[in-house]
Structure 1
Amino acid sequence: MGYPENVLAADERVVLHRHPHWKRLIGPVLVLLIATALAAFGAAVVYHADWSPVATNVVLGVIAVVWLVIIGWLTVWPFLNWRSTHFVITDRRVMFRHGFLTRAGIDIPLARINSVEFRHGLLDRLLRTGTLIIESASQDPLEFHDIPLVERVHSLLYHEVFDTLGSEESPS
């Protein structure tokens, strides 16, 4: 699902749009592979068992239903949540939206941002991701985890904040 452009003002432009880093999908993909392998193994054992056709079909149906539930809950749902999470920087504000069935979000006007920080550990540096920390005038610092290319986003946001403020310190 794409980002809804209808939440932007008429002359507002998107500077950056990101989903969380793909590392969030490693676990769901592993669950998909392991659950599929276990279901296939279980189906092969049941298929070669000396059971009546009705019993075989019932057990194969149970395996299929359990597989579908596990895949839906631990693979499809996390993917949909990842896909419906948006980190957007416009020329006026920072927007964060998340949720698939129920949505939540926050908007931070660029003029209200006091500081922008980032942090990433060794694994995050290898994967080129990290946490972006934005401190605004009236709130506790907000942390946005798993932002791809967090150093570039940090730099871009820093430049946008100073451009918005029209500061003499604004980098050229």
Structure 2
Amino acid sequence: MGYPENVLARDEQVVLHRHPHWGRLLVPALVLILGSAIAAFIAGYVNTLTWEPSAKRIVFLVIAAVWLILIGWLSVWPFLNWWTTHFVITDRRVMYRHGLITRSGIDIPLARINSVEFRHGLLDRILRTGTLIVESASQDPLEFQDIPQVERVHSLLYHEVFDTLGTEESPS
């Protein structure tokens, strides 16, 4: 699925659309698996006890409520934040949008970009992710964390910037 057309200008084309790297979802996935296993174990243990059925029902409801709160907060919320974070390069600008309830974003026209850098350590290189640093004419450098295939994105953005400028420095 492409980026929503209603935020693009007329004749503007999406060159690249990325969510943050999937590595951001490892801890929430582990929390979901472990939390579910622990809740199931406790519920199974409570089921073996010789308590009144109404007492068991209350304990099951408490287990379910705690599970729902923890899983919602530590697994579902991070996933929704990941899903609603967009890094988009078009033929005219770089867009970054994030947030689920309160949305925010920034647009940088390609013509205003002075330099594009990337940074990634050993673990980032193994996971093929990194930080993209964009310096524009009017702002301090902006760092975009967890960009998948950051070297490829860096190269693509570099080419788009120079194609937009139409300078002699444009790579062939």
Distance 2:83 2:2 in 1: 8
- The size of the alignment, in residue pairs, is 172
Distance 2:86 2:98 in 1: 6
Is 1:13 the counterpart of 2:9? The answer is no
The aligned amino acid for 1:64 is: A
Equivalent runs, 1:34-113 vs 2, <5 Å: 34-113=34-113
State TM-score, norm by structure 1. 0.98
1:165 maps to 165
1:119 maps to 119
2:33 maps to 33
Instruction: Kindly state the Cα deviation for residue 50 of structure 1 after the two structures are TM-superposed.
Output: 1.5
* Moved beyond 4 Å, runs of 4+: none
Instruction: Kindly state the Cα deviation for residue 3 of structure 1 after the two structures are TM-superposed.
Output: 2.9
Equivalent runs, 1:148-159 vs 2, <5 Å: 148-159=148-159
> Contact 2:2–2:17 at 8 Å: present in 1 too?
no
| Structure 2 gap ranges (5+) | none
State TM-score, norm by structure 2. 0.98
| Structure 1 gap ranges (5+) | none
Distance 1:131 1:57 in 2: 49
Instruction: Kindly state the Cα deviation for residue 10 of structure 1 after the two structures are TM-superposed.
Output: 1.0
Taking only the aligned residue pairs, the percentage that are identical comes to 77
Q: 1:71 to 1:108 in 2, by over 3 A?
A: same
